[in-house]
Amino acid sequence: MIARPYGDTLDDGAVQFSFTLPVPEGPLGREAARQLVEKWGFEQVDVVHSHSLSEGFSFYVAYGRATTGIDLAGIQVEEATGPSVYTMDEANEIVRTRLGRKVVVVGACTGFDAHTVGIDAIMNMKGYNHHYGLERYPEFEAYNLGAQVPNEKLIDFAVKVQADAILISQVVTQKDVHIQNLTQFIEMLQARGLREQFLVLVGGSRIGNKLAVELGFDGGFGKGTFAEHVATFIVDRLLEREA
Amino acid sequence: MIARPYGDTLDDGAVQFSFTLPVPEGPLGREAARQLVEKWGFEQVDVVHSHSLSEGFSFYVAYGRATTGIDLAGIQVEEATGPSVYTMDEANEIVRTRLGRKVVVVGACTGFDAHTVGIDAIMNMKGYNHHYGLERYPEFEAYNLGAQVPNEKLIDFAVKVQADAILISQVVTQKDVHIQNLTQFIEMLQARGLREQFLVLVGGSRIGNKLAVELGFDGGFGKGTFAEHVATFIVDRLLEREA
Amino acid sequence: MTAPVESKLGLPQDRIDQARELARRIARPVNQFIERHTTVSVERATLRLAGADGANAEGIPVPNLVVDQVRDRLEDGALLPYVNALVRTGDSVDGLNQKIAQGFRVDELPLGDRGALERKAEELVEAFATRVKANRAFRAACQERFAGRNHSPLLYVIVATGNIHEDVKQARAAAFQGADVVAVIRTTAQSLLDYVPYGATTEGFGGTFATQENFRIMREALDEEMERQERYIYLTNYASGLCMPEIAAMGAMERLDMMLNDSIYGILFRDINMYRTFVDQKFSRMINSFGGLIINTGEDNYLTTSDAVEKAHTVLASQFLNERFARDAGLPPRLMGLGHAFEMDPWLPNGFLLELAQARMAREIFPEHPLKYMPPTKHMTGNIFMGHVQDAMFNFASKASGQGIHLLGMLTEAIHTPFMMDRALALENARYVMNSMKDFASEIEFKKDGLIVRRAHQVLEETVDFLEVLDRIGLMEALEQGLFAEVKRPRDMGKGLEGIQERGPDYYNPFETYLASELGLSAN
Amino acid sequence: MTAPVESKLGLPQDRIDQARELARRIARPVNQFIERHTTVSVERATLRLAGADGANAEGIPVPNLVVDQVRDRLEDGALLPYVNALVRTGDSVDGLNQKIAQGFRVDELPLGDRGALERKAEELVEAFATRVKANRAFRAACQERFAGRNHSPLLYVIVATGNIHEDVKQARAAAFQGADVVAVIRTTAQSLLDYVPYGATTEGFGGTFATQENFRIMREALDEEMERQERYIYLTNYASGLCMPEIAAMGAMERLDMMLNDSIYGILFRDINMYRTFVDQKFSRMINSFGGLIINTGEDNYLTTSDAVEKAHTVLASQFLNERFARDAGLPPRLMGLGHAFEMDPWLPNGFLLELAQARMAREIFPEHPLKYMPPTKHMTGNIFMGHVQDAMFNFASKASGQGIHLLGMLTEAIHTPFMMDRALALENARYVMNSMKDFASEIEFKKDGLIVRRAHQVLEETVDFLEVLDRIGLMEALEQGLFAEVKRPRDMGKGLEGIQERGPDYYNPFETYLASELGLSAN
Ligand code: B12
Ligand code: B12
Ligand SMILES: Cc1ncc(COP(=O)(O)O)c(C=O)c1O
Ligand SMILES: Cc1ncc(COP(=O)(O)O)c(C=O)c1O
């Protein structure tokens, strides 16, 4: 099925836009805005609003009709975990019965990132939104190193505690600082010949599985992640490996 | 100069989108939304929000970076009037001294359209936003026929009073009802051999000069029009014709 | 909605009483005119109540065909010839309707035994009453079953795709998103048609035709959504325009829950003849009342053309008149959704306070009435972000002043009829704001002699003055002079004038008689 | 801001007084510690006040070079060796700075005649005082000239592009759009650098380096905008982190108008050693006070991790402590921009009322203080439309409770640092809402014993209880136990501990002496 945006009639293609142009407000700017949206492939473009943001900048709200849709059949959904995840008890049960040892997990907010709320949500006892964190899982040994941990230190620690998985949180993404930092992490692991030794996971509000895999991680986790997702992912991968 | 959208750095191309897809909320929808925006030619696409609108529909907010800009040099601004317009007094003075007769103007909201506020703003004594309407112009004779006037009747009336210009207002645009109605008006004029006899102007909040000219009108007027714009346009065109 | 309303404004009760008394006096001569007249639409509505339905090959509805046949003796009403045909032919109602659609003329049959005809007519009244009472009982049972699940005020959205099937999708989505009330907006200019189209329709502009089949389709869908959402979903349409009573009839039969229905809106905003409107509105309201439908009056419309500060008193005056005419048609206050609107200029300093004063004033003057509060429209622009904030302030004002029915503002008001996503954002906006400041109204007092209190008193005073003028010159004269909404409507002009008919001594309408007695109107 | 604040909540004055007394007692042992210590940053700040500036080829700033040279005798302070070098070499301040940047060691010169050194030092103090007083006078003159042109509360926006030149564009646009205050957000983690970078910078993440040159560039641009917009535009930065006093010094010299500056924020949220923070904050605040800068304290941060209902009392307790420490550093209330935040869960029933209660409570307890109200951040999501409405409610709450400084919420808070258009929409939102309900605060009263009043009383009670615990166990112990923001900070851990230095009997700092006397602090 080809999905096209929907306003009030199937396949009408309605899309709302807003953007700024480095152009003073006026007829030229409005026409430029209109033509620009047309150039992006939209029809019936209507610049419904414009105002001046300063002498050289102006703001536009526009609506247009998309002429292209997207074939749903061709879409690969690459989420780290599928629709069904283990509950805390199920995950622990599987570890106990099928892995037969504790799973060791090390987590941190790395680089200059100090947004610990996300990694805490996954790891701390109290968890998040009524989902307990990994510290509460009896079959997991979870170490949360906190904020602004250098990649080097994180790897050292993971080696020391013989971690199964390393969990990294990256929330600040401005100027792609997270990509630089995550790339450096993978390169360090590889340089030290440790890449295969750990499952490496990254999460954060602007992180997706796709990006994570591209950067060389095993999985990526965005908004709405709970400890269950992480536990499911780790347990399944460890079972695979050890099978 | 090539203008590209601006978020916080020149040429970063930042654009905000929102749209609905006829797809249930979930990973498939989110990925479809992301790929769709990419397909429209945007990079670094981030679907920052999604929620369910009903069983089969979901809503998305996304940001992306435009890879294409628009060359300002290539843009023809086709407004009906240029940046300078005559004041009420100037317009009357020109009519008095250079045309030497009163200008007759007939206006109406045509078809099923009953949104008279716009045409009243242009024609009535009291005008709009502290800009007097054409009825207040001593050198203009203005007839405002009001709401829901059939095209036929409007033309009959214009013939009767020997109008110089016909002013049409169209506000309802759903399913392009205005285009049908405006096209019918021009065809009627042509069928009766009257097209060249009148200046024909159309206005309304979703009307632009471009569309108007395409439909066979002399000029089109959108949001922010005042009687001065209309008077300027009519006076200049009449002078041209009679020169 | 019927909890006693606390007085925060200290409005003088004697002035309120005086305004009501003036409204009574202003309405009286109009009512006298109404009693002596019927209209083509009243007669067609009566036929519909009796069961006349369907249309001929050209789409002319059966009720119109019958009334056209008997137009020259309409002073007796149109029902008797129809009943006579039923008796004479022995046809069922449906059978007769089909015949009529194929050209059969009821006016050519000689009238049979009066007693037999009246008995047949009573049977039809009975059938109608049974159906509508069942509707009322069903509605009441559902509301009982899902008590406490609706929002307060009721969150009211519109659908307006032009296509009933598309409307159904939008309406279902709206229910899913939290709406309590769905209004199917009518196609532009249906109000000027002197007939009601027949069947399911898919071609409207800015709205969908009001037809009985469309009502049925939407009702069915919303009843399903009700079960799913466990919330009664109110259905609204327009008993307004040239077919006011007929649409009321259709609504009562298909269990609509609300109707836009105003005693003077059509005159002012649709240039419908005033005599016609006055006669039509009364019968339409009797039907609405019997069907248990809440009417929504159209005072908001004054402020789409006039200024909300300058003309606030015309809104209140019109509410008093609508209340009076509604009462005279047997509507109890709990079914009077008197209208008003948040149309204050957003850049006016303290505009929100003036608005809050006016909204609260309406609440205190009409304490039992489910006031219908309309969103910003005139001052909305293409700036959807700013518009969404204007709507938030409207949501705040509505909850803070205790409104009954809240028509949701759309961020795209100045652009297009609502997209599905616009409605969802509007519902989210209202649900957030109203939940977050839920008990605000009972938490605050207004400062004595402050801006808010003074504003409310001032509007009330201006209203009484205005009603005094109306009382002096008469309502019809006032409409001719353009005292409302700045439009002048001569009494012998306007659409539908030709459909007015003085009643003869033998005028017969047992449906009207039944309704009047049910509504306790017998002695006017 | 200094108009007497009407009591709408009826808070018990004795409990407020008690809280203040507890804060005084809690601060006392900390102050005793502060008096006996200095830090590398205090010394570098002193050098900066004297004129030390510039950096060597590796980017190490001159003040750091000097302090590093004299680190082993820092108990006497770092100023004397620097002054000695000036006298010995006969160099100008700039000349000496250049020499030092090239490797010249001031610590190797034997100290000259004490009298001559002290005279030289007094000269430098004089020069500093003249410069800063001129700044204050200029600011006062501009504010006088454009009196009444700022909004109330002041509308405060941030710029955070990472590039000072891009920041300037954004700041100019913000001024054009109506902003009163522009804060240049610092690059992430600058607070953990134990030096202040030098020169104009274009590479930051989530913010721009705070450097003296960047301050100057932005000040110049905003002064130009001031003339254009005819409105004083306040400039804000961060006197926070490991270089708290140095940035205060730079700000006083470059006429910044506000500084984020908190007595415990760095400990809790940046894991800076508590001794270091306490000593640094005092000197930084003395400088801010003398420079006439409003401090912005960081209580909002508690609520980005903790719940706004549960932990409201930690905000108020921290405000009392920040007030006390500020007072002990010579800041008058009119320069105390105590922080708090609108971080209530948007879906909490009556959450807005609780928030309004808390905001108004702060206003009544700190009547002369230009309270700084922070926008929703934690509960913002990628739904920018919903976010814009949350910000509208925040704007409403702020104006309705009479806040002093209003940091604008951004609809894209959960997504990216503000785009130019985000800021414009935020300003429009605030200007509309606050103008439209301008006098709301003075128009309403809260119901006696209602939800709002009860909530305020409850938070005050909880705060007194909490302060009693702090008084019992001591502030340092409380920080170790994690009583604030749920983080535990051992006293001998954290960044910057090594930069602490006990003062010797010969500790010399004529700048501090001068400030103390100007601020009336001589006898603590
Ligand atoms: C709270 C907060 C702070 C707090 C952080 C306190 C703390 N201890 O964490 C404080 C005030 C300290 C702060 C500071 C700054 N912040 Co901040 N902050 C936020 C805020 C308001 C909320 C973040 C949050 O807690 N979300 C809730 C958690 C639960 O969500 P989450 O992090 O997405 O985590 C979930 C998932 O992503 C996932 N997840 C996350 N990590 C991981 C890891 C793994 C392994 C897995 C499996 C899953 C996972 O699971 C979690 C649960 O579902 C956001 C705005 C917003 N509303 O999002 C800005 C925001 C993130 N901050 C921002 C910025 C720029 C900063 C500063 C750099 C500003 C400055 N220049 O000073 C500083 C510096 C901090 C630093 N050095 O990193 C920007 C980032 C912009 C960008 N995209 O780059 C934001 C978006 C605000 C903005 N619009 O400017 N901030
Ligand atoms: C007021 C109003 C009404 C009033 C009209 C009262 C009246 N006497 O005009 C009432 C309540 C009657 C009404 C009814 C309807 N309305 Co209406 N209405 C509006 C509203 C709120 C404001 C329009 C307005 O007055 N603008 C102010 C004037 C000054 O602006 P303007 O018309 O753009 O005119 C300016 C320029 O465009 C230009 N101009 C206009 N005409 C001309 C002509 C010439 C020759 C020139 C030179 C210039 C010119 O100059 C003017 C001054 O600058 C808009 C929403 C909005 N905020 O825009 C909806 C809106 C226009 N209505 C709408 C609809 C659908 C309807 C209905 C069809 C709904 C229904 N199904 O019942 C009905 C039917 C009316 C009909 N048959 O046409 C839609 C149209 C959607 C679309 N794009 O198709 C809108 C956008 C609302 C919405 N989102 O659904 N409406
Ligand atoms: C009472 C009433 N009827 C009808 C309408 C709708 O317009 P129309 O007359 O086109 O049905 C309105 C619109 O606001 C109204 O208030
Ligand atoms: C007092 C104070 N300082 C500084 C900051 C900024 O963070 P950083 O420590 O990275 O400078 C904040 C942020 O909210 C703050 O409240």
Nearest CA to ligand 4 atom 15: D298
Ligand 1, atom nearest to A118 Cα: 34
Nearest CA to ligand 4 atom 16: D298
- pLDDT tens readout for residues D130-156: 999 999 999 999 999 999 999 999 999
CA of residue A126 to ligand 2 center, whole Å: 55
The structure tokens 């504010």 sit at D143
CA of residue C294 to ligand 3 center, whole Å: 15
Q: Is any Cβ of chain B less than 8 angstroms from the Cβ of A46?
A: yes
Query: Which of C82, C113, C112, C116 shows the shortest CA–CA distance to C100?
Result: C82
Give the minimum alpha-carbon distance from C402 to chain D in angstroms, rounded to a whole number. Answer: 15
CA terminus-to-terminus distance, chain B? 39
| C301 ligand 3 Cβ < 6 A | yes
Q: Is any Cβ of chain C less than 8 angstroms from the Cβ of B117?
A: yes
Q: Is any Cβ of chain A less than 8 angstroms from the Cβ of B5?
A: yes
Q: CB under 8 Å to B106, separation ≥6 — which residues?
A: B142, B143, B145, B154, B157, B158, B161, B163, B165, B166, B167
Q: Is any Cβ of chain D less than 8 angstroms from the Cβ of B16?
A: yes
Distance CA C395, CA B153 (A): 44
Asked if residue D351 is part of any domain, the answer here is yes
CA of residue C393 to ligand 4 center, whole Å: 32
The structure tokens 């501009």 sit at D142
D342-401 residues touching C, CB cutoff 8 A: 344, 346-353, 383, 385-386, 388-390, 392-393, 396
B216-235 residues touching C, CB cutoff 8 A: 223
User: What does pTM read for this prediction?
Assistant: 0.94
CB C82 within 8 A of CB C106: yes
The structure tokens 């009591």 sit at D7
Closest CB from C349, C352, C385 relative to D425: C385
The structure tokens 């302070």 sit at D77
pLDDT computed for residue C522 by the predictor: 65
Q: Is any Cβ of chain A less than 8 angstroms from the Cβ of D269?
A: yes
Distance CA D41, CA C136 (A): 80
Q: What is the mean pLDDT of residues C369-396?
A: 98
CB D515 within 8 A of CB D330: yes
Q: Is D131 exposed, middle or buried (0-12, 13-18, 19+ CB in 10 A)?
A: middle
Q: Is the pLDDT of residue D304 over 90?
A: no
Distance CA C58, CA C41 (A): 19
Q: What is the mean pLDDT of residues D423-445?
A: 97
pLDDT computed for residue D418 by the predictor: 94
* CATH number for D239: 3.20.20.440
Distance CA C289, CA D268 (A): 66
pLDDT computed for residue D325 by the predictor: 98
Asked if residue D252 is part of any domain, the answer here is yes
CB D206 within 8 A of CB D266: no
The first and second tokens of residue C495, run together, are 């659409």
| pLDDT under 70: residue ranges of chain A | none
**Count of the separate structural domains present in chain C:** 1
Q: What is the mean pLDDT of residues B218-234?
A: 95
Distance CA C290, CA D429 (A): 46
Distance CA C274, CA C33 (A): 11
Distance CA D8, CA D447 (A): 9
Distance CA C407, CA C500 (A): 34
- In C, which residues are within 8 Å of B223 by CB distance? 382
CA of residue D21 to ligand 2 center, whole Å: 64
3-state secondary structure of B61: strand
Distance CA A188, CA A155 (A): 9
* DSSP code at position B98: I
Closest CB from D381, D382, D419 relative to B14: D419
Q: What percent of chain C has pLDDT over 70?
A: 99
Q: Which residue has the higher pLDDT, D455 or B243?
A: D455
- In A, which residues are within 8 Å of B41 by CB distance? 40-41
Q: What percent of chain B has pLDDT over 70?
A: 100
Asked if residue D332 is part of any domain, the answer here is yes
Average pLDDT of chain B to the nearest whole number: 94
If pLDDT is split at 50, 70 and 90, which confidence band does C486 have?
confident
Distance CA D365, CA C271 (A): 61
Q: Is the pLDDT of residue C510 over 70?
A: yes
CB D437 within 8 A of CB C397: no
Asked if residue C213 is part of any domain, the answer here is yes
pLDDT computed for residue A125 by the predictor: 83
The first and second tokens of residue D166, run together, are 């891009």
* Alpha helices, H only, B88-129: 88-94, 117-123
pLDDT computed for residue D292 by the predictor: 98
3-state secondary structure of C43: helix
Q: How many CA atoms lie within 13 A of C168 on its CB side?
A: 18
CB D67 within 8 A of CB D105: no
Q: Is the pLDDT of residue C1 over 60?
A: no
pLDDT computed for residue C523 by the predictor: 47
Which residues does ligand 4 sit against, CB inside 6 Å?
D 186, 191, 238, 240-241, 260, 262, 265, 270, 298, 301
pLDDT computed for residue C37 by the predictor: 98
CB D385 within 8 A of CB C392: no
Range of the domain at D273: 13-26+151-192+204-459
- In C, which residues are within 8 Å of A7 by CB distance? 416, 419-421
pLDDT computed for residue C334 by the predictor: 98
Q: A136-166 burial by CB neighbour count: b if 16+ within 10 A, else e? A: bbebbbbbbbebbbbbeebbebbeeeebbbb
Q: Is the pLDDT of residue C524 over 60?
A: no
Closest C-chain CA to B224: C381
Q: CB under 8 Å to D440, separation ≥6 — which residues?
A: C352, C353, D396, D399, D400
CB C426 within 8 A of CB C411: yes
| D305 ligand 1 Cβ < 6 A | yes
Q: Is any Cβ of chain B less than 8 angstroms from the Cβ of C431?
A: no
Q: What is the mean pLDDT of residues C439-461?
A: 97
- pLDDT tens readout for residues D89-131: 999 999 999 999 999 999 999 999 999 999 999 999 999 999 9
If pLDDT is split at 50, 70 and 90, which confidence band does B152 have?
very high
Sign of the torsion formed by the C-alpha atoms of D91, D97, D102 and D104:
positive
Q: Which residue has the higher pLDDT, D494 or B126?
A: D494
Q: B62 - beta bridge partners?
A: B17, B47
CB D69 within 8 A of CB D85: no
Asked if residue D54 is part of any domain, the answer here is no
Closest D-chain CA to B17: D384
If pLDDT is split at 50, 70 and 90, which confidence band does D254 have?
very high
Q: C112's torsion region: left (phi>0), alpha (psi -120 to 50) or beta?
A: beta
Q: Which of A8, A37, A44 to mutate to test the interface with C (most CBs of C within 10 A)?
A: A8
CA of residue A161 to ligand 3 center, whole Å: 74
Q: Determine how many CB atoms are found less than 10 A away from the CB of residue B131.
A: 17
Asked if residue C474 is part of any domain, the answer here is no
| Contact criterion met (CB < 8 Å) for C415 and A48 | yes
| Contact criterion met (CB < 8 Å) for D163 and B51 | no
Asked if residue D335 is part of any domain, the answer here is yes
Q: Is the pLDDT of residue D355 over 60?
A: yes
Give the minimum alpha-carbon distance from B54 to chain C in angstroms, rounded to a whole number. Answer: 5
Distance CA A109, CA A203 (A): 10
DSSP D197-253: --S-----SSS----HHHHHHHHHHHHHHHHHHTS--EEEEE--GGGHHHHHHHHHH
